[in-house]
């Protein structure tokens, strides 16, 4: 196997490869761009015109998606998977990956769309670098752009594998992309209603890619992901990479649950209190009238929506950031 097929190993030890560019036996080009960044170009005559960005490790302890990308990279380097699309693989937060932590100083996935300019430290610099790498990769005109940012969650979930679909003024969510997610084993999609500050929000709103944050189970250490079943997602990604994907249809949306953001719960001060058990699962249903949270100045969040569920509850975020999202069922 080519040395660049060991991108994860290089990243975990913080080492640059001696050779920055290598070719597989069939002519696929592997180009090491920066720490945790590998660009893959199809062999001559194989390119079907898609630019596909696959990222993982934006949170360093979310290892199942990192291991998935590692398997894809190794198959390409061995010549077992022959790309028919341009690819950019990104391991987002190498420092946190090496320490097995979600992040070290700042949550990188809250530093995109320019937010890194207001921050400092290595993670703000890394967010800026990830933006530059993505922008350079998606700079070719006339080519479809697709980005999957792969994550696992801090907590369990009533719906284990789900996606967040960013929003941008004037753009509609794609039925074809939703059908593709359904084939990949995604059971629910949260359709967002305002521009966010995550990596997928950046590539969607500023680089005009179709982009998704995928939540794929619960975060565990390297080598302990046997219960995280990513077979359908991995199969879909392989078919995208080698160009063998079958055409989709609207019927592919059968069984896909759609949700919309009703409200974000923002933590304003150290007095913030979230009235949920620390172990509550994502997509837990909340009763109408339930007092969800309280904060300084008599601020209260009371559940008024029918069918409301909570995702990403986290009272330990920094002041000014969201401590949870209330979502409700919706239709496309």
Catalytic residues: 215
Q: Which residues contact 277 (CB under 8 A, 6 or more apart)?
A: none
Relative to beta strand 86-91, strand 309-311 is unpaired
Give me Rg for the CA atoms of the chain. 20
| Residue 151 labeled ligand binder | yes
Beta bridge partners of 308: none
Beta-carbon count within 10 A of 273 CB: 13
Question: Nearest-CA neighbor of 93 among 119, 64, 66?
Answer: 66
What does the buried/exposed string (b/e) look like for 121-153 if buried means 16 or more CB atoms within 10 Å of the residue's CB? eebbebbbbbbebbeebbeeeeeebbbbbbbbb
Distance, CA of 113 to CA of 127 (rounded, Å): 9
Does the annotation flag 62 for ligand binding? Answer: yes
From residue 188, alpha-carbon distances to 119, 127, 282, 315, 327 in Å are 33, 28, 12, 24, 12
Q: How far is the C-alpha of 40 from the C-alpha of 83, rounded, in Å?
A: 8
Tokens describing residue 55: 């990222």
According to DSSP, residue 118 is labeled: G
Q: Are strands 291-295 and 273-274 parallel, antiparallel or unpaired?
A: antiparallel
How far, in whole angstroms, is CA 15 from its chain's centroid? 25
Task: Report the alpha-carbon distance of residue 52 to residue 252 in Å, rounded.
Answer: 21
Question: Coil, helix or strand for 295?
Answer: strand
Which class for 212: exposed (0-12), middle (13-18), buried (19 or more C-beta within 10 A)?
A: buried
Please report, in range form, the residues annotated as the binding site.
59, 62, 151
Please report, in range form, the residues annotated as the binding site for Zn(2+).
59, 62, 151
């Amino acid at each position: 196997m080519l040395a660049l097929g060991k991108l994860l190993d290089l990243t975990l030890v913080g080492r640059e490869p001696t050779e920055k560019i290598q070719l597989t036996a069939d002519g696929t080009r592997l180009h090491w761009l920066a720490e945790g960044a590998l660009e893959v170009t199809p062999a001559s005559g194989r390119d079907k015109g898609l630019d596909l960005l696959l990222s993982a490790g934006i949170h360093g302890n979310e290892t199942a998606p990192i291991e998935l990308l590692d398997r894809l990279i190794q198959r390409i380097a061995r010549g077992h998977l022959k790309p028919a699309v341009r690819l950019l693989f990104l391991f987002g937060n190498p420092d946190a990956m090496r320490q097995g932590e979600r992040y070290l100083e700042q949550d990188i996935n809250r530093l995109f769309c320019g937010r890194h300019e207001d921050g400092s430290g290595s993670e703000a610099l890394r967010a800026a670098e990830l933006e530059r790498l993505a922008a350079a990769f998606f700079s070719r005109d006339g080519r479809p752009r697709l980005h999957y940012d792969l994550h696992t969650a801090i907590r369990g979930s009533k719906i284990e594998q789900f996606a967040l679909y960013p929003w941008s003024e004037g753009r509609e969510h794609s039925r074809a992309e939703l059908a593709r997610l359904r084939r990949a084993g995604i059971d629910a999609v949260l359709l967002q209603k305002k521009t966010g500050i995550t990596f997928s929000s950046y590539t969607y709103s500023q680089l005009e890619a179709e982009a998704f944050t995928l939540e794929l189970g619960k975060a565990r250490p390297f080598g302990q992901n046997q219960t995280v079943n990513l077979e359908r997602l991995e199969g879909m990604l392989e078919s995208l990479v080698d160009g063998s994907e079958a055409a989709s249809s609207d019927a592919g949306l059968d069984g896909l649950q759609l949700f919309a953001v009703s409200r974000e719960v923002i933590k304003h001060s150290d007095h913030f209190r979230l009235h949920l058990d620390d172990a509550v699962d994502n997509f837990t249903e909340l009763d109408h009238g339930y007092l969800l949270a309280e904060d300084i100045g008599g601020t209260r969040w009371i559940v008024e929506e029918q069918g409301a569920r909570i995702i990403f509850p986290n009272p330990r975020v920094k002041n000014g950031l969201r401590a949870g999202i209330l979502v409700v069922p919706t239709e496309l």
